Structure 1
Amino acid sequence: MAVDPVQASLNGRFTYRPDRGESWRILTGEDPVEGDCEDYALTLIWLYEARSMLRFWWGLITLKYVLWHCTGPGGGGHVVVWCRGRGWTDNIQRKMVPNLPPTYRRRFPYILPTLLLKFGLRPLLSRR
């Protein structure tokens, strides 16, 4: 699948930077942004939903988007996002694919209470 303009825009500004802790965030800046796999997935959802937090959360509640914890190509923990009607993507592939490559192993989806907890505890868990 081709990269759509929304994802291409994020790809052109995004640089991977691992967390020093567990800090999930949406990268709202227009300039180049840095983050990890969760930040990429959350930011992409937010951009697809026209930068609206209401639409962002509604997309997660209605399972239009599902964040999955998986084992990534290097064998470590990783997050990918499934987008209904589009496919799978992450900060490594940086494009939508109909199926995850065989080097990825899905472990579990992040359900809404977990997502709320990750955002709610962000100030306590962040060590940036």
Structure 2
Amino acid sequence: MTIKYTEDHEWIAVEGDVATVGITAHAQDALGDVVFVDLPEVGKTFAQKEVAGVVESVKAAADVYMPVSGEVTEVNEALRADPALANSDPMGAGWFFKVRLSAPDEVAALMDEAAYKAFTG
């Protein structure tokens, strides 16, 4: 599994041609207590950097951008029911959606963990 990060503070964990997407610990920290998530529709196709969802906290609302082009294959219904999962386990149970990659080469251009830490440091 390859984990990459975007400048918009999404993480993407790639396994084969499917990737899991969520917001980073840094993002949930900046947002504060997450109270609502708007997840994309299963079957919908997005281009890289297109808005795929929204996360709202007690402090702010932020768009969730598609880190790579592809089709949404699954959304995290547990997160919809309990948005606080984005705070308590942002890179685990708090994932947002899964996407089938249509342009796998886009993954290589994203940041690795060291680059993301430098970016947010």
TM-score range (shorter-chain normalised) is 0.3 to 0.5
Report the TM-score, using the length of structure 2 for normalisation. 0.32
Looking at CA atoms only, which structure, 1 or 2, has the larger radius of gyration?
A: 1
Report the TM-score, using the length of structure 1 for normalisation. 0.31
Higher strand share: 2
